[in-house]
Amino acid sequence: MPAITLEEVLLTADRRIHERGRELFSQGTVSQATRAADVLQARVAGSSVHPYRIRIDLTAGVWSCTCPYDQGAVCKHVYAVALAGLEAPRQFEQATVKNNSALETLLKALEQLSDEESWTLLEALERLRPEIIEEYAFNIAQRDNGW
Ligand SMILES: [Zn+2]
């Protein structure tokens, strides 16, 4: 039983977020949307070079966004993804259980790694998928700049 529904997520937004979130959704900025049970994840193109990453966990009743306005309240990106979940559910790929357990396995393994092993992993990731490292570094820099 989810702690919160998508409708309720939308209801927590004020009128300004409601308008801008709907605008983002209708502009087709929501991409790479996946849904696994009550967890929705997607990206929303915004003013930043990199799209923001949004995660909504209905079971836990929590959501997050990598944008600078993520301060607990629903931002326009979270709003756009929640709206997409309601109005364009077929846009969401069904995330497979296999993917989830691979991520869980990796996260467990990460806890055991030495600093040197973590470094090797990050270097390998940087070689294969530099955009992931770039996006991550970019988001950290934004946060550190007091956004
Ligand atoms: Zn946001």
Domains of the chain, by residue range, sit at 6-94, 97-144
Say how many Å lie between the CA of residue 116 and the centre of ligand 1: 34
Kindly tell me the sign of the dihedral angle through the C-alpha atoms of 64, 67, 73, 79.
negative
Say how many Å lie between the CA of residue 75 and the centre of ligand 1: 5
Instruction: List the pLDDT tens digit at each of the 147 positions of the chain.
Output: 789 999 999 999 999 999 999 999 999 999 999 998 899 999 999 777 789 999 999 999 999 999 987 566 899 999 999 999 999 999 998 765 555 677 777 777 888 888 888 888 888 888 888 888 888 888 888 777 655
Say how many Å lie between the CA of residue 58 and the centre of ligand 1: 17
Say how many Å lie between the CA of residue 115 and the centre of ligand 1: 32
Say how many Å lie between the CA of residue 142 and the centre of ligand 1: 13
